[in-house]
Amino acid sequence: MLEVKNVKKSFGDNQVLKGIDLKVNKGDIIVILGPSGSGKTTFLRSLNFLEKADSGTMDFDEIHTEFSNASGKVIIKVRKKTAFVFQNYNLFQNKTALQNVMEGLVTARRVPRKESEERAKKALDKVGLSGRYDYYPYQLSGGQQQRVGIARAVVVNPDILLFDEPTSALDPELIGEVLAVMKSLAEEGATMIVVTHEMSFAQEVASRIVFMDGGVVVEEGSAREIFTAPKEERTRQFLRRIIRDYDYVI
């Protein structure tokens, strides 16, 4: 469904992505792991052109494009086929939960208002926010805001959902509710690319794990392969550090 090759990106003379390849099939749950600063966010943002990669190619269903010279039309097309869930939610502050979820339907896709509202309500119900349609973002907890963020992404039926550390801005007791929503999406067959530090989520849900470090993909494999028999020393080191912290938190 989606295949990107040799994605490169520099900020000044800081090369952040040094040629990333990734292939995504329908129904894949790809979890990207890696230390902070390894380029995970930049890569994810490049996929829907929030960041403009310097080079590389994208094949996305009928779309074939270079990252460097993608036209405005292609960019909008890709954005309509994907949806992004942000680390700090980025809900529209001037809109209610329901309006946040409707916006992508009504304005971007010209879906009639009535149908949009029904679909948006269904999406909010699904993430457990049926009583919060008319709340503004500042009236919701972080976990609720992020679930609105997920509903806003899901409602447009994107081909691929992109999650950038969706739980890392949340208080520990609110993480579970968001992960539960993501798990149920995975069970329904959604295609997702998830950057996260939640190892239990990665272990349970990922169909493939990609370990990134220093702007390259160091290793890639099933959850079992990565967690029980990592081939690369860098992967091992990272897991040891993360799992120790993880134990420590518990």
Partner 1 sequence: MQLNTEFMRQTLIDVLAGVPVTLKLTFVTLLLSAPPAFWIALGKTEGGKNRGKISGVYVSVVRGTPVVVQILFLYSLLPTMLNYLIKNVFRLDFNIFNIDAVWYAYIIFILNTTAVLSEVFRSALLAVDGGQLEAALSIGLSRRQAYMRIIIPQALMSALPNICNTTVSLLKNSSLAFMMTVKDITAIAKVKAAYGYNYIEAYLVILLMYVILCSVVQGIFRLLENAVSVRRRAAV
Ligand X SMILES: Nc1ncnc2c1ncn2[C@@H]1O[C@H](COP(=O)(O)OP(=O)(O)O)[C@@H](O)[C@H]1O
**Residues in touch with partner 1 (CB under 8 A):** 48, 50, 76, 79-80, 82-84, 86, 88, 90-96, 103-104, 107-109, 134-136, 139, 152-153, 156
Determine how β-strand 29-33 pairs with β-strand 82-85. Answer: unpaired
Shortest distance, position 107 Cβ to partner 1, whole Å: 5
Q: Which of 4, 16, 20, 190 binds ligand X (CB under 6 A)?
A: 16
User: Token pair for residue 80?
Assistant: 């309509």
22-81 residues in contact with Mg ion (CB under 5 A) are 41
Which stretch, 37-45, 173-181, 201-209, 237-245, contacts ligand X (CB under 6 A)? 37-45
Question: What is the C-alpha to C-alpha distance for residues 164 and 104, in angstroms, rounded to an integer?
Answer: 19
For position 42 contacting ligand X by CB under 6 A, the verdict is yes
Q: What is the per-residue DSSP string for 175-214?
A: HHHHHHHHHHHHHTT--EEEE---HHHHHHH-SEEEEEET
What three-state secondary structure class fits 243? helix
Question: If contact means CB under 5 to 8 A according to the sort of partner, which of ligand X, partner 1, Mg ion, none does residue 104 touch?
Answer: partner 1
Contact 95, 103 (CB under 8 A): yes
Q: Among residues 83, 115, 86, which one has the least CA distance to residue 191?
A: 83
Question: Which chain residues interact with ligand X by CB under 6 A?
Answer: 11, 16, 34, 36-42
- Applying CB under 5 A, the residues found at the interface with Mg ion are 41
